[in-house]
Amino acid sequence: MQIDIVSLFPSICKGVLSESVIGRAWKEGIVKINLVDLRDYTHDARKTVDDTPYGGGAGMVLRPEPLFECLQDLRTPDARVVLMTPQGKPFCQQTARRFATLSHLILVCGHYEGIDERARQCLMDEELSIGDYVLTNGAIAASVVTDAVVRLLPGALGNDVSSDEESFGNEPLLEYPQFTRPVDYKGMRVPEILLSGNHQEIATWRLEQRVLRTVSRRPDLL
């Protein structure tokens, strides 16, 4: 799979995505991540990408020309072009799974007061938000989406089943509580059932815990 991230701050994504599981998947070629600096698609000496909004108002708006030129360059017949913006649909695990089946994903990072409406309408296949808050730019949001997608690619986690049982995996249930050594930490003991060796009972207990957690923390998922 190839993921292109179009941003004014590609080094933000580079730092985040070079570490740990995603960094390894990138190095091993499980994903090809292409960080694109939108300023490379400007033609003036100052590499201007934005301008003041028509009609007045605060902030700056991304001009259409660099976005059109950039996407003309990057788009392939299979590509899905996604704008990261707080006005987009909420990103969720189901969307991550859908993206993980694509061969080419292009994430476009929004900026300050937004992007020129003509670029939004003509170039974007969909728009996504990572939550109801406003970040300074879309680079962190694009990194979040890339992380959630790449870890689902075959081989990325080293063990293909390990993303199945987790929260937002195949069932809309949160994860069960986990314990490791020591058995007794300052008087707090690991539940006896987990020490019993009875796999059937452990599985039942874990499912109960998942339901209880989901009811108390995220009833909206049920």
Binding residues for ligand ADE (CB under 6 A): 84-86, 110, 129-131, 133-135, 138, 141
- Minimum distance from CB of 112 to ligand ADE (Å)? 9
What b/e sequence results for 113-152 when a residue is b if at least 16 CB atoms lie within 10 Å of its CB, and e otherwise?
ebbbeebbeebbeebbbbeeeebebbbbbbbbbbbbbbbb
- Minimum distance from CB of 57 to ligand ADE (Å)? 18
Give the separation between CA 59 and CA 56, rounded to whole angstroms.
9
Task: Check if the beta carbon of residue 93 is closer than 8 Å to that of residue 168.
Answer: yes
Residue nearest ligand ADE by beta-carbon distance: 141
Token pair for residue 127?
């728009």
Give the separation between CA 50 and CA 62, rounded to whole angstroms.
4
Q: Which is nearer to ligand ADE, 145 or 173 (CB)?
A: 145
- Minimum distance from CB of 96 to ligand ADE (Å)? 14
- Minimum distance from CB of 84 to ligand ADE (Å)? 4
Q: Which is nearer to ligand ADE, 33 or 82 (CB)?
A: 82
- Minimum distance from CB of 24 to ligand ADE (Å)? 26
According to DSSP, the residues that pair with 126 across neighbouring strands are 82
Give the separation between CA 190 and CA 194, rounded to whole angstroms.
7
